[in-house]
Amino acid sequence: MKAMILAAGKGTRVRPLTYDLPKPMIPVLGKPVMAYLIEHLAKNGVTEIMVNVAHLHEKIEDYFGEGEQFGVQIGYSFEGYTKEDGEVVAVPIGSAGGMKKIQEFGQFFDDTTIVLCGDALIDLDLKAALLEHRRKGAMATVITKEVPWDKVSSYGVVVTDKDGRITQFQEKPKQEEALSNFISTGIYIFEPEVLDLIPSGVEFDIGSQLFPLLVEKGLPFYAQGRPFNWLDIGSVSDYWEVLQNVLTGEVNHMDVPGIQIEPGLWTGLNTSIDWEGTTIKGPVYIGSGVKIEAGSTIIGPTWIGHGSHICEGAEVVRSVLFEYTRVLNDVTLHEMIVFKDYSIDRAGEMKHSSEYSSDEWLNARDRRRSRRKEIAEETDNNLEKVNA
């Protein structure tokens, strides 16, 4: 069995994380979300995987290589071009366009193939899904989930008849226009004939173009609503919720890394926690090389990335701190994601560190600002002495 992972998008709804990371590389419990996908595919007997890449493609390719560490073979299809001066320009060509490019290059889709978005955690029984796909004689299958009506506008909406055959597909409709609250999870099963429907050399999308075409032509196009965990990182607020669920143990087969030093508290190697006046209520993960000063408060579910520094009097409540974050004295971060120079609250509102009236956090590896403060204080003291 073969698979393709869709990984060429820019991930605009997950900015600022995707300023520096391609969306499939966003970490969950310290590991890229796409790594969980590949491990799941391997567990289900899928050993040949193609990945279309564009935005920050080298970070995906450098991490996964050719797949040896996962026991699979991984190939890549870059979408873009190289300028005469050697600059590489990423130009995504749509999810279906990416499939067509791969097919025209090497005929990868010569058998039934699973196609998945690279930004979700799943535990779907792929073999059972494939069996039902073949039993129905489907040319294409979409794995669906029921979601609350106020969420439908974020997804492709699936309408079926009593036999599960798809009669209509709406790509991200307004809530009042949605004909169903069953949505596409971004997990598809395709027969090779589907590739013949995709035009060559143009941008073409699976949800907004290929699926309506399948419906229009009356081809055997089915939905499967299966029981499985599906944690979608579609937006920053989704990402925050996923990490909260994972840390509270609501997701099977996902264990917090590190060593559990007391109930609800896990640490990496060489952490330093001054317990004098410090309060930590789990579930909390404290990464390797993290320093927690006396008088700090950390309330879970919270993830503190490696190399971070929580200064005296700081409070970190239900938050996610990426690696090397220094939270300054007496600062409170409440339901925040902190990524380099940006913070994102639970609702997805993003702020640059410069928008705060005073420093809230710094790069824990950068000592220059704190040193400048010390120099300024020394200068003030010297001036006072001279004036005296």
- DSSP assignment of 160-226 equals E-TTSBEEEEEES--GGG-S-SEEEEEEEEE-GGGGGGSPTTS---IIIIIHHHHHHTT--EEEEE-
Give the per-residue pLDDT at 3.
94
**Two structure tokens written together for 22:** 């391609």
Share of the chain above pLDDT 70, in %: 93
What's the CA gap between 276 and 299, in Å, rounded?
16
Handedness of CA 162, 167, 168, 169 (dihedral sign): positive
Q: 89 pLDDT band (50/70/90 cuts)?
A: confident
Residue 194 has pLDDT above 70, yes or no: yes
**Two structure tokens written together for 96:** 């279906």
Q: Can you tell me the mean pLDDT for 14-24?
A: 80
- Report yes or no: 175 and 100 within 8 Å, Cβ to Cβ: no
- Report yes or no: 4 and 102 within 8 Å, Cβ to Cβ: yes
Residue 190 has pLDDT above 60, yes or no: yes
Residue 384 has pLDDT above 60, yes or no: no
277-284 LR contacts (CB < 8 Å, sep 24+) = 283/247, 283/248, 283/249, 283/256, 284/247
Euclidean distance between the first and the last CA atom of the chain, given in angstroms as a whole number:
82
Q: Which of 38-42, 88-92, 383-387 has the lowest mean pLDDT?
A: 383-387
Residue 299 has pLDDT above 80, yes or no: yes
The residues near 352 (Cβ < 8 Å, ≥ 6 apart) are 341, 342
The residues near 218 (Cβ < 8 Å, ≥ 6 apart) are none
Provide φ and ψ at 141, rounded to 5°: -130, 140
